[in-house]
Structure 1
């Protein structure tokens, strides 16, 4: 079989996101002559199982307390799955491994394990844990009570993660107040009328707490040898710009001989949906450098 010289972008979604979040980017990359492989993480997309109360006509009280059917999924599961995909894709040419949001943890873990299989890492407003091992050390703890993050935490998140085993929202909600909170938090620059479809299409109700809290500290000896880029989202309410800059600075201090190539997007957190063409432009330009 011929080995292709052009890179393949392996695209890892973020928290409670399905591979569908990358669909607009895959199309935009194809228009630019690039290949892409969007990843469906274990327990996501067609591999997921919904908690009681979510399907059908929905039962909000039942949904709030139902144990998550994917609570046993771990960051190890995600890492092993993506590593296997990377190793298969690498047989056909260079791999650019891209992570969005929580997907940054998977990207880091794969680069820790198999740096030689990767031509480049790209973090798209993604977690990159360096000085601390988990996202819990980077995520905003006490946001302004009037901020989109605080409002979404009050309105959009459902149940107690300690009992359900998941961070849970309802992407099928018809509650306009909840939809507005998710709009402001995740995709403020997207047409408000498109938000219900975006939630239902690209997100699922549960993300396993075990996966969310898994350790993903970068290893400078392996991860640190792979060329990397960070795409900052300047209007991000989920991972604010100061948090993105903190992670970039920690990474650059850990491997000063291999710093991040940093580029900016003037958009909100769900950039694969809000600015897929601009994101594709950056990915192609980075790969060609």
Structure 2
């Protein structure tokens, strides 16, 4: 099954579904990545903070698939903001991955209390021009953070990776991100901290359609035009999560799922405000 592609504002394309790799360890992640690629995933998401980039690289090579057929994302960690630190961070990520480039490099968090996310963004622009990152973007950025880096550099991020699921929908942040021409990528798309998979509304839709609750939720993401990166160490769940393009939700289904939105968790607000690392 081929994966639908989302066209980014830099003209490049990203597979709409990928597999996340947190919190898999260096020893766990190679087999999961290789299995995901065997299932059909072509988009692999990791980060320096996950501590598993080396294992992700092993899994990619173990799969036997050409690197050119894959889309690999990594992220600059919170302790590597600044010009020298950002360059060092991406180069170290590439060494761990065993690669000469990633397809997408993101700033993991804006860290406004550090005050260097503009420098970090300027450095990612340089690294992109050097061919070490195909596309560049951000993660967990608010509109004011987006506006500052765009105003300072004239370069708009291709992606803003944020927490999105029906319970934590971030409607205003999604609207603001899209208004700036930035694609949205959902982390925690199945809402593990929200008991979303056990929700009665989700369960009723899944039963009627003959799908799993996870498939229903992931289909909601797709129908909202979101890039989505579910994670699982189970081969069966990897397959199920990938099989979301052969059915559609009815308008009433989407409305019911939209109605589950309860707002933003306190921990996420604190992270965005820079109160945590």
- Shorter-chain TM-score bucket reads 0.3 to 0.5
